[in-house]
Structure 1
Amino acid sequence: MGTQHHGAMGLHPELAEMRDWLERTGSSSNSAIAVEGLILLAGIYAAISPWVIHFAAAEPNLTASNLIVGITVALIGFALTLAPDRMGRVAWMIAPLGLWLIISPWVVTAAHGARAGIIWSNCFVGAVTFLLGLAAMGLTVGLARRRNAHH
C-alpha cells in the first residue's frame, strides 16, 4: 500500500514541476549563480549606500535615486535566481541601471555637487552593476542558444 501511495505521489503534477525546476536550477552553471547573487548584492548596496556613506540627509534626490535603482537591481537579481528562464529578458536592464548609478551624482545632486565619497561609491557600484549586467546578458544569450539547440 505504501508503494502504491508513493507511486501516485510521484506522478503528481506539482512534484513533476518541482523536479523540473530543481533540475533546471541545479544544472545552472556556477558562474550564473555567482552573477545572479552578485547582482542582488550590488543592488542591496546601492539601495543602502546613502546611509552607509552618510549622505541620506544631505542629498535627498540622490538618496531616492539610489534607493529606487538599488531595489530594482536587487529585485531583478533575485528574480534571475528564482526563474532564470523567464527573467532573462529583463537582464538587459541591469547594465543601463549601472550607468545611471555612475552618472547620477552629477545629474541629481544640488548645484554644489556631490562629495568625493558619494561619487566614488556610486561610480564603483555603478561600474560593478554595469559589468554584472553585461555578464547577465551574456549568460541569458548562452541559455537561449542552448535551449534553441535542444529544440
Structure 2
Amino acid sequence: MTAPTSPRIDQHPDIMALRAHSEETTATPAAQAVEALAVLCGVYLAASPWIVGFNGFTTLAINNLICGVAFACLVGGFGPAYERTHSMSWAALGLALWTIVSPWVVAGSAAFITPAIVSNVVVGIVACLTALALAGLGVNRARRL
C-alpha cells in the first residue's frame, strides 16, 4: 500500500509568493550594491591586521580574522537565499558592533594603537550601516506583502 500523495511544500502558493517577493527585493541594483559592500567590509575586516599593520597584536588580529570571515559569510548568504536568511542581518549587526568595541575589549592595554582603532571603528560603522540596510530590505519587503 502506498502513502497518499500530497502536494509538495515548496509548491505551496504562499511559499512561491514569498520567493517571488524575495527575488524582487534582492534583484534591485541598490540591494546588490549593499550586499557587495557588506561582503567587501567583511573581507577587509579579515585582512585588516595585515593591511593596516597591527598583526603583531595576535589576539586582535585573530579576532578581526574570525569576525571578518563570519561577517562576510553571513551577508554573502543573503543573495542566493534571501527569503530564509534576511533575519541573519541582525547577527551581522552584532558582529559589526563587536568590531567597533573589540580593540579595547580584546587587546586591553595594548589597544592604544591608533591604526587598529581607526580601522576597526571605520569598518565597524560601515558594517553596521550595511547590516541595517540589509535588515531594512527585509522589513520593506514584509510591509509590501
Instruction: Tell me the TM-score normalized by structure 1.
Output: 0.76
Which of 119, 122, 125 aligns to 2:123? It is 125
CA-to-partner distance for each residue in 1:75-110, whole Å, 9 max, x for gaps? Answer: 112101221111112011121211111111111114
Kept in 2: contact 1:59–1:110 (CA 8 A): no
| Pairing of 1:1-151 with structure 2 (within 5 A) | 24=23, 28-56=27-55, 58-146=56-144, 149=145
CA-to-partner distance for each residue in 1:40-86, whole Å, 9 max, x for gaps? Answer: 00000000001101111x21111111111100110112101221111
Q: Aligned partners of 2:47, 2:26: CA distance in 1, in Å?
A: 33
Kept in 1: contact 2:54–2:115 (CA 8 A): no
Q: Aligned partners of 2:26, 2:135: CA distance in 1, in Å?
A: 18
Larger CA deviation: 79-88 vs 26-35: 26-35
RCO comparison, higher one (Cα < 8 Å, 6+): 2
Q: Tell me the number of residue pairs that the alignment of Structure 1 and Structure 2 aligns.
A: 128
The CA RMSD measured in Å over matched residues stands at 2.2
Q: Aligned partners of 1:82, 1:102: CA distance in 2, in Å?
A: 28
For the pair shown, the structure with the greater C-alpha radius of gyration is 1
Instruction: Tell me the TM-score normalized by structure 2.
Output: 0.79
Once the 2 structures are TM-superposed, how far is the Cα of residue 141 of structure 1 from its aligned partner?
A: 1.0
